[in-house]
Copies of this chain bind each other. A is one copy, B any other.
Amino acid sequence: MGPGPINAYPRVLQAMSNQLIGQYDPVMTGYMQQVQQLYRGVFNTSNEATLLIDGTARAGIEAVLVSALKPGDKVLIPVIGRFGHLLCEIAYRVGAEIRTIEVEWGEVCDPALIEKEIKAFQPKMLATVQGDTSTTMNQPLAEIGEICSRYGVLFYCDATASVGGNALKVDEWYLDAVSVGLQKCLGGPSGSAPITLSDGFVNEISKRRHIELGLRTEQHSAGSEPMIRSNYFDLPMILDYWGEERLNHHTEATTMLYAARECARLFLEEGENAVLDRHEVAGQAMAQGLETMGLKLFGNQKYKMNNVVGVYIPQHIDGEAIRSELLNLFGIEIGTSFGPLHGKIWRIGTMGYNARQEAVLSTLAALEAVLVKHKAAINTGVGVQAAMTCYAAHFQAQSVLAK
């Protein structure tokens, strides 16, 4: 029950024990096409360029940034938490010129501020995080997308922590590039990074297209702009590998592709609305349970992600001792925190397979028991009840809707 990675869905685990298939076997290339189509569903997009990067979520981030940004290109980055810093860090190494908009941790960035900075800085790209687990905030994107589209700025978003538990409408919100991971609400393991790229973004990076030495023939046309600084993260090459010609690049990570495929199938079978609802009620029940217990929540609750909540560690309580007893006595892991929040808040996740009533209720019950053991000043016997009430109201509303 941490901020991710989390327990995987049993069907995802099962999928990963399937025997491998050769990368050019028609069954495998068929699976690759299925994965592209499935993630168009997850991302709410019709982008042809929808595929997997073989690596953890930050591999997807680096692939987007290193392919789009040449040394000297300008990028504007709102920093709402640790993962905003990560975008800066990666963009810096790519050689980009960076301007940041720093936002107090626990808040999100005002679109008006973004418009102002776009006018002043005239960036090639705006790069932002949607859900930043370090602060539990979920940055609204629709307005920012509209602004970027109006000013002709490429709009990239890292939605690793939010995808599958919070709305993400790539086409409707004018997103040009989105990268995610499986290990949060999609209920899979870390190690595969689905991405989607708009046609405009693909046009842009195609200027740097290049065919690998030893695979090049005279039919292959190269782009006019400088080569991308990474081979592994060269998106035009990766597009050629996933495309019709299936030009060899890496050897696709077969098992991780099985996992990614199963995560998306589960999401689409349950249905986007049902999955988001399930995350929303789990998040609400967890938050209300904690508050009713007398604990204080962190950050602007209006913008909290559905799938993770920050909660202040009560005074005079050793946060790490509580975490360790939860793990050792109950087998439940909750998260510590980074940077300015380190030692001040815990982060509790309700995502993917763990966005279930039983997981929420048992976590609240276990946390209460451990806090009582440590003589924390909390309200006993009411936290779990509040979460149950929250779920009951949700199920009733659902059954009314069904009639």
Contacts and interface: CB of A to CB of B under 8 A. Distances in A.
A221 interface: no
Interface of A, helix, strand, loop or mixed by DSSP = loop
A330 to B, nearest CB: 13
A204 interface: no
Interface string A316-339: 000000000001000001000011
Given A22-B2, A58-B232, A59-B232, A213 B16 contact: no
Interface string A24-64: 01000000000000000000000000000011111100100
A221 B128 CA distance: 29
A25 B6 CA distance: 12
A181 interface: yes
Contacts of A228: 93
Contacts of A85: 212-214
A255 interface: yes
Count this chain's copies in the assembly. 2
B252 A190 contact: yes
Contact of A256 (B13, B57, B82, B191): B191
B16 A214 contact: no
Given A20-B7, A22-B5, A253 B56 contact: yes
A181 B20 contact: no
Contact of A231 (B4, B18, B19, B89): B89
Contacts of A189: 20, 253-256
Contacts of A142: none
Contacts of A251: 4-5, 56-57, 181, 183, 190
Contacts of A55: 54-55, 59, 232, 250, 253
A95 B93 CA distance: 13
A93 B228 CA distance: 7
Interface residues of A, number: 64
Contacts of A95: 229
A313 interface: no
A19 B95 CA distance: 40
Contacts of A14: 17
Interface of A: 2, 4-8, 13-14, 16-20, 22-23, 25, 54-59, 62, 66, 82, 85-86, 88-90, 92-95, 134, 181, 183, 189-191, 212-215, 227-233, 248, 250-256, 259, 327, 333, 338-339
26 contacts: A7-B19, A8-B20, A13-B19, A25-B327, A54-B55, A54-B59, A56-B251, A57-B251, A58-B232, A62-B231, A66-B230, A86-B212, A93-B229, A93-B231, A95-B229, A181-B251, A183-B251, A189-B253, A190-B250, A190-B251, A190-B253, A191-B191, A191-B255, A214-B338, A214-B339, A229-B229
Given A54-B56, A85-B212, A93-B231, 11 more contacts: A13-B16, A20-B183, A56-B251, A57-B250, A57-B251, A59-B250, A62-B231, A214-B338, A230-B230, A253-B256, A255-B256
